[in-house]
Structure 1
Amino acid sequence: MGIDGGTELKTLRPEEFDRWWDHLARAFGGGPAPLEERELDRSLTEFDRSLAVWDADAIVGTSGAFSFRMTVPGGAVVPTAGVTMVSVSATHRRRGVLTAMMRRLLDDARAKGEPLAALFASEPAIYGRFGYGSATFQLHAEIDTGRVSLALPEGTDEVRVRYASPTEALAECEAVYAALVPRRPGMLARQPGWERAALLDPESGREGASALQCVVAERDGRVTGYARFCTKLGWGPSGHDGTVTLKDLAGLDPASEAALWRFLFGIDLMTTLAVRGRPVDEAWQHQVSDLRRCVPRTRDGGYVRLVEVGAALSARTYQAPVDVVFEVEDAFCPWNTGRWRLTGDSKGASCERTSDPADLALSVRELGAAYLGGVTLLSLAAAGRVRELRPGSLTEASVAFGSPVTPWVSHGF
C-alpha cells in the first residue's frame, strides 16, 4: 500500500522484527531496552497483524494489533483488537503515515469480526481523531505506611499469606486472574504467552530494587489471591525509609484482598507503598485511616473504539432498560455513520439501523468513552460532545450505560 511521499505500508515479516523493534525503541526515547523485553515482545507479536512503513530501505513507521478478548458490562468477553507498537519517525511527521496505519488496523479488525479496538495512548491528543475515546482510568498512590493503618473486613484473619516463587506460583495466580476477568469491564482474557509478561523482571530495569517477589493468599488450602511486588531499602536521617512497589494484586473475595494489602503495609523496613495503575474503585481507599497520606491520583487508562457500532452495542448489557436512537458520526469508519436504535436491559440488547428520529447525536468517540460504563453520557453532554434531541433520552441512556463496577484494562500491551 503506497502512502504520499513514496513510502509504502507492508505487513511485518519475522526476519524484519529487530529493525522494526529498534525503530520503535528510538521513537520512545531511544534508551537501552533489556534483551528480555525484546524477546518477550518478539514471542507475542502477531506478525500477520503487525505493520511497517518503509521509505526505501528504512522503516519509518510501526504499528500492530493483538487478538484480545475484553470483558464488557454484563460479563461477555468480546473480541477486541489491541492496537499497539505505534510509532512514526520524526523525519516523517504529517505525511499520512499514522493515518494509513490506523486505517489498515481498523479495516483488518472489521474483517476479523472484532467489534472493538482498544489502546493505551502515549500521547492522548493523538487518537480522538481516529474515533478512540478515553474509557477507563487508573489509580496511583504513594501510601505512607508508617502513618496509615487499615481497618480490615470480617474474615481477613482467616486468610493465610505466604511467600511463593513467582514462577512456581504462576499457574495458581493465573487461575485467580481468569476467575476475575468476567467480573470487571475492561479486563482482558489472557491469551497464551501473556502470562509471562507479568513475570518480566530484567535486572537492568530494577534501579536498585529487589527482584520480583510474590505472595499468595490462601483460604482452606486454596489460593484465593496474589500480590507481586519489589522492595527497595533506603535510609534517611530518621532511619529506614524503604519503598514497596506493587506490580500486581488480585483477590477472589474482600478478605483475601485485604489480607494482601495488610501484608504490603507491614513489610519490615518499608515506609512507602507505591501503587501504580490500579482500579479507581479499590476498597483499600475506604479502609485506610488517612486517605490524604496515600496521595491518590488518577490518570487516563484504556482508550476504546467501536469498530462496528451495532455489534458492539449489542454485545453488552445495560443496567436499566433503554430504548434510544443514536445519530452517530464516524468520518474515519463511515460504515458506522447514521442512526442506530438500541434496545436492551440487564438480560441482553439489540442495536440495529433505523430511520426513526434520533434521540441523541454524538460521534463514535463518545460511544467509545461511555461504552464500558466508566464515563457517563451526561458528563460528555455537559462538555458539549453529546446533544440531546428528545427530552429525557440523555438521562435514560446515561443510566443504562453505567456499570456497578468501575472498568479497568487489566494490563498494558
Structure 2
Amino acid sequence: MQFVEPFLLWGALAVSIPVAIHFWHQKQGKPLPWAATQWLIEKQQQQSRGFRLDNVPLLIIRCLLLILLAFLLAQPILNWFQQPPAIQKVHLVQPSQAVADNYKFELTDARKKGEKVIWADERLSELDDKPINGQPSTRFSALKLQTAINRLDTKNTELHLYLINSQKLADVPVISVPAKFSLHTAVDSAAQPRPYLVVKNEQKMFINRTGKLVSLPTLDPTLKFQSVPVHSGPIAVLLSYQKAQEQQTVKAALAALSDVYGFDFSIDDKPASNRSYDWILTDKLPSKPSPQTFYTLSGMAQLDGQANVMFTNESLTPQTSDRAATGQLPEWLGLQLLHHYELGLTNASLSNRDLQSLFVPTNKPTTEQQAGIQHGLLLLFVCLLAVERWIALTKNA
C-alpha cells in the first residue's frame, strides 16, 4: 500500500486522546446522598484497585475513527493486484548545440534502443531519423522547460533531462518533474559574449565585472561582448492601463529609470497603428502577443505562455502594490527589462544542492487509482461514526 501524503499518518497517534479522556472521565466522582454508606466501604475499596476502563466498545470505536481519519487524509493507494506498468524512457534535451555535442554518445545509444529523444521546444520535435548535431540553439528558459515537461505524457515514464547548468534554471522557484527522472547537466565552459544596449548619446549599457549596470561611452575592453547590441536607440514603450493612477505610477517609474540609469524610452499612452513596440505594460491580456515584444501584465495570475510575457498579480499602484508604495517599482521594472534582454545573465552554474532543491519530483496518482479505496474508507468512517453516536447517546457517555 502506498500513500500520497504519508506524513499525515502521524495523525494516528491521536488515538491516545480518547483513552486519556476515558481515564479522566471515570475519575470524576459525583457525590450522591446515600444511607448506610459504611456497608459499601469494603466493596468500593475492592473495585478501586488498579485501572478499569468503562464502555470498552465505545473506546475502541473512537480509536478506530481517529485511525481511519488519518488513513483517509494520507490518501492510500492499493496496487496489490495490478501488474507493474512498462516504463518508457524519454530523453528531453535542451535545444543547444553544446548539450547535443556533450551527450552525443548517450543520445545516439538511446535512439538505437528505440527510446524517445526529444528537443525541449514548442513542438517537442523528435530526433528519430535526424542527426543529433545541427539543431540550432534557441533562447531557452526554465519556463520553457517546465512547459515542455508538462506537455509530455509522464505517466509510467522515466524522464532523462539534458541541460546546461546555468543561472537561467533558477528563474522559477521549482521545476516539477516525474517521480522517475535523471538529470544530466553540462557546464558551458566557453566564455559567451555579453550582450549590451546602446542608449542615449551612444552610451553603451552593460553589466560590468562587479555586477553593476553601467552606461559608458565605450565597452570594457577586458570583457567579451557581442558584435552588435541587442537593442540600439530608444526603447518604444506602450502604457495601456484602464486605471489612470496605475498609468501615472508606471510612467513615473520609467522616468526614474531613465534619469538614474540612462535608459532611452519613447513612451506612448495610446497605441499607434503604424508603430511596433519593444515593451508593452498593460493590465489587459493581449490576444496575439508578438514574439519581438516584451509584455508586463499586471493584475492577473501567472499563466503558461511565452517567455517574453511576464505576469504580476497586483495592480501597480501605491494602494495595491508594495513595490509602488516603497519606491521599489523602478528597480523591479528595470530588472525585468534587463532579464528580457539577458543583460544580467552570467555563465555561473548552480551547485548540486541548488539543483536538487530546484527539481521537485511529483508522483500524483490518477483519480481512478484513489477512488475505490477512498470511497470504501469513507463509507466505513461514516458507519463507525453513526455507531459511535448511537452508543454514546444510549449510554450517556
TM-score scaled by length of structure 1: 0.21
TM-score scaled by length of structure 2: 0.22
Higher alpha-carbon Rg: 2
Structure in which a larger fraction of residues adopt strand:
1
